[in-house]
């Protein structure tokens, strides 16, 4: 059932072109507009939403952090993203003018389910993004969007995450389409870019041998830092989580602009840095941050576009992704980080499919 792959995790990383293709095509019509069956929202429905809450755990929470950028840009409604186990135990200002979006691959994560129930109790309308048909979270939410990733067996989430990003991007385009806060041409541009994304993912997967080699430079590290700005910061968080759970190496993600506020003290030649630079409005700032950590002796693996001549001037090694719309870039830039985590775990002889102390679905607190 591993289809010739040594591990489910690697198989699932390689299933991403199909998973992304399936999740896109079902929600894009022949005119390139977004459709969700039976979600018959009107402009008035959206005008009755003052704020959006996204709540989830782990990797699904990281998908929510990216979605905040999507929704605020395309729908112009403020979004807060909260860890489900935090949300359910605070006194949130959720109301009947809140839309709550929960994200859960399994649809069974207890904290996420309870956070959804709490938001509903406070009057919120709700949407679940899940990979699991008929799951508890799917049954509890007012409306469910399914990611079509297929079964994800490895504990580390890979294809579920990239399909969550696709589903959340499509949802934000859909809301913007109805509310009139995004031009139809832009919707069509992004959906057509999503339709060609599977081929680009296949391109990025060709970096496999490169990532296997780079894992040699990470496998004996004690601490690894992941840096990014804007959407790349959210992706850096996902990259760091993947590395922690599979390699057992301490990794932390930092908003690169925060370096000077403390973290820079930890950077030495012993701390490899992974820097993601796909967002043009902060690119020059990222290059300065890379120079800052290089000046303290750190080796930097830069992840950026294949037509970006700047990155290799500053990073020790560069990993290239094809040029895409900057909102779509995270779906590509996370893939080298998944591979890096996988190979680092393998080189440390860990059980990458079943990392220690972790379960695939966390149905207890």
Residues near ligand M6R (CB under 6 A) are 57-60, 104-106, 109, 112, 155-157, 241, 245, 361-362
Rounded least distance, CB 360 to ligand M6R, Å: 7
CA distance 339 to 181: 37
Measured from the CB atom, the residue of 16 and 104 that comes closer to ligand M6R is: 104
How do beta strands 51-56 and 98-104 pair? parallel
Decide: 20 and 191 in contact? Cβ < 8 Å. no
68 SS3 class:
helix
Q: Give the active site residue among 18, 188, 354, 360.
A: 360
d(CA 135, CA 256): 38
Please say whether the beta carbons of 232 and 333 come within 8 A. Answer: yes
DSSP 147: -
Shorter beta-carbon distance to ligand M6R: residue 157 or 177: 157
Q: With contact defined as beta carbons under 8 Å apart, do 26 and 34 qualify?
A: no
For the question of residue 159 being annotated catalytic, the response is: no
Residue of minimal CB distance from ligand M6R? 58
In the complex with ligand M6R, the residue whose CB is nearer, 147 or 279, is 147
Confirm if 324 and 198 have CB atoms less than 8 A apart.
no
- C-beta of 66: minimal distance to ligand M6R in Å? 14
Closest CB to ligand M6R among residues 105, 344:
105
Contact indicator for 337, 235 with CB cutoff of 8 Å:
yes
CB of 111: closest distance to ligand M6R in angstroms? 8
Helix (H) or strand (E) holding 82: strand 79-83
Residue appearing with tokens 């990073």: 315
**Shortest distance, CB of residue 107 to ligand M6R, whole angstroms?**
7
In angstroms, give the least distance from the CB of 60 to ligand M6R: 4
Task: Give min distance, CB of 362 to ligand M6R, in A.
Answer: 5
Q: Which is nearer to ligand M6R, 247 or 279 (CB)?
A: 247
Helix H or strand E encompassing 290: helix 283-295
Is residue 360 within 8 A of residue 262, CB to CB? The reply is no
Least separation in angstroms between residue 156's CB and ligand M6R is 4
Using the minimum distance from each CB to ligand M6R, give the nearer residue, 74 or 161: 161
Residue 179, helix vs strand vs coil: helix
Rounded distance, CA 308 to CA 330, Å? 16
Do the beta carbons of residue 148 and residue 347 sit within 8 Å?
no
Q: Which residues contact 259 (CB under 8 A, 6 or more apart)?
A: 227, 267, 289, 292, 293
Q: Which is nearer to ligand M6R, 253 or 311 (CB)?
A: 253
The two structure tokens encoding residue 43? 């402009």
Just list the catalytic residues. 360
């Amino acid at each position: 059932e591993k289809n010739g792959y040594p591990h489910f995790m690697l198989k699932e990383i390689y299933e991403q072109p199909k998973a992304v293709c399936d999740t896109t095509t079902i929600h894009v019509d022949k005119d390139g507009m977004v459709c969700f069956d039976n979600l018959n929202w009107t402009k008035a429905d959206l005008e009755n939403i003052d704020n959006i809450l996204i709540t989830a755990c782990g990797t699904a929470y990281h998908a929510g952090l990216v979605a905040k950028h999507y929704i605020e840009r395309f729908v112009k409604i403020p979004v807060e993203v909260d860890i489900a186990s935090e949300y359910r135990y605070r006194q949130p200002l959720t109301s009947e003018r809140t839309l709550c979006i929960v994200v859960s691959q399994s649809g069974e994560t207890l904290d996420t389910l309870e956070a959804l129930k709490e938001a509903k109790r406070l009057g919120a309308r709700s949407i679940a993004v899940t990979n699991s048909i008929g799951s508890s979270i799917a049954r509890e939410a007012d409306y469910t969007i399914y990611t079509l990733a297929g079964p994800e067996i490895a504990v580390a989430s890979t294809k579920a995450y990239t399909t969550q990003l696709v589903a959340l991007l499509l949802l934000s385009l859909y809301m913007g389409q109805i509310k009139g806060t995004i031009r139809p041409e832009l919707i069509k541009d992004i959906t057509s870019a999503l339709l060609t994304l599977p081929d680009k993912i296949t391109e990025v997967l060709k970096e496999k041998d490169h990532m296997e080699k780079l894992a040699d430079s990470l496998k004996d590290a004690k601490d690894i830092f992941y840096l990014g700005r804007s959407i790349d910061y959210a992706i850096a968080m996902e990259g760091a989580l993947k590395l922690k759970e599979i390699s057992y190496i301490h990794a932390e993600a930092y908003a690169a602009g925060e370096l000077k506020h403390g973290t820079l003290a930890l950077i030495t030649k012993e701390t490899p840095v992974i820097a993601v630079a796909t967002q043009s409005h902060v690119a020059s700032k990222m290059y300065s941050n890379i120079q800052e950590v290089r000046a303290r002796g750190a080796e930097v693996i830069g992840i950026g576009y294949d037509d970006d001549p700047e990155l290799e001037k500053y990073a020790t090694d560069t990993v290239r992704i094809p040029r895409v719309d900057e909102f779509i870039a995270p779906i590509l830039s996370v893939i080298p980080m998944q591979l890096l985590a996988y190979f680092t775990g393998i080189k440390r002889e860990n059980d990458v499919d079943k990392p220690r102390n972790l379960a695939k679905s966390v149905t207890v607190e």
